[in-house]
Chains A and B, each alone.
Chain A
């Protein structure tokens, strides 16, 4: 079956512009995560959606970052007024559910490589 799909795969933008990154999770997965990975660094948690519950936004680095998940499926991560330090790979992951056990295994998309000039 199809895995997690992210678009665009690459995005180059100018400082100050807004960007939108899209994530299509695996069909039937209720949990969706966004991470950021800078060059040579680990994954930085940004935001988590689980079903119809309020999202966990505790990882968003500033109010320029926001995310939505419509209809419990597709998610969009928006970065307003981009800065050079926003340059990174933005990874989306989905899991069957949450809690302990195999259902919380996260499957990743290929990511969006964002470059802010």
Chain B
């Protein structure tokens, strides 16, 4: 079983829509979680950190459910510029290793 699993999508949504991605992790001892954004042929860039139950930053909200071992990312009022692959990450219990999901592809359509 993979450490982190994501629905690969693709998700194709119209501008202005709200879209949510879910991600599950297998190690119940993980303490730190992240969402990274990766544009085509570019490096991953940090979008949000999730250390407790959740985090909100403008149109983006991340939530953590430890009981069910999943993390979600909600994007409200989607913009064309949100089109990218979103990578879910769980850190190991020591924080020394990051386990990346394979990513969820989002395309926002005009």
A binding-site residues for B, Cβ under 8 Å: 31, 33, 35, 41-43, 45, 48, 50, 56, 91, 98-102, 104-111
Contacts and interface: CB of A to CB of B under 8 A. Distances in A.
A108 B101 CA distance: 16
A111 B43 contact: yes
A101 B32 CA distance: 7
A40 to B, nearest CB: 8
A50 B97 CA distance: 11
Given A100-B31, A108-B44, A45 B97 contact: yes
Interface of B: 31-32, 34, 42-46, 49, 51, 87, 91, 94-103
Given A45-B97, A110-B42, A111-B43, A100 B91 contact: yes
A29 to B, nearest CB: 14
Task: List the 6 closest A-B pairs by CB distance, nearest first.
Answer: A42-B102, A108-B43, A43-B100, A99-B95, A100-B95, A104-B95
Contact of A110 (B34, B43, B51, B103): B43
A42 B100 contact: yes
Nearest to B32: A100
A87 B68 CA distance: 37
Contacts of A41: 102
A37 B88 CA distance: 15
Contacts of B91: 100, 104
Contact of A43 (B32, B46, B49, B87): B87
A106 B87 CA distance: 13
B44 A98 contact: no
B44 A56 contact: no
13 contacts: A35-B100, A43-B44, A48-B97, A50-B96, A56-B97, A99-B94, A100-B31, A100-B32, A100-B95, A104-B95, A105-B34, A106-B98, A107-B46
